[in-house]
Amino acid sequence: MLSAEKAHTMIDKVFDRSNALYVKNVPRKGRGVFANIPFKVGDLIERAPTWGFDDAAAKLLDRTGVFEYYFVRPDQHLMSGPLTGYVVFGVISMVNHSFNPNAQVVWNDEESGTWASIVAIKDIRVDEEITHRYMNISAYPSSIKFID
């Protein structure tokens, strides 16, 4: 059983199973992902399965809150097929944008499907927010202002 003091300090942190990451609310950004352990350049932060969808599904998703959580691959133009975007399962979907990110998404196409990994591109300290550069900023409504 957790002590009252320990439970109180954890109230604003939701931990994943590995305890390497936690999620908390970030003023003016919404939820964000934070390091609970240090990461070095090149470290795998998280790996998650995805669900790919085509342009017709994208048009529907763009009218929902899912729009803010799906990913566009930077190498999409090199791929054959009708896929437009990916829903990424796991906390990667809550990693906020930065023009000066400390992580990047790496895509892997495997027999089991497409996987997204987030990898440190800078050393990341404990309690530092993990960020990556969104590839589809121009698709967002002008009412959404990106902050660093």
Report yes or no on 59 lying in a domain.
Answer: yes
Q: How many domains does the chain have?
A: 1
Say whether pTM exceeds 0.85.
no
DSSP character string of 57-84: HHHHHTTSGGGGGEE--TTGGGS-SSEE
Band of the pLDDT at 106, cuts 50, 70, 90?
very high
Structure tokens at 88: 């990424």
pLDDT for res 13: 54
> 50 is in which domain, residue-wise?
10-137
- Long-range interactions of 55-60: CB distance < 8 A, separation 24+: 55/82, 55/84, 57/84, 58/84, 58/85
Report yes or no on 111 lying in a domain.
Answer: yes
Report yes or no on 116 lying in a domain.
Answer: yes
Residue 45 sits in a domain of what CATH number?
2.170.270.10
Report yes or no on 5 lying in a domain.
Answer: no
4 has pLDDT over 80? no
Structure tokens at 22: 């936690």
125 has pLDDT over 50? yes
Report yes or no on 19 lying in a domain.
Answer: yes
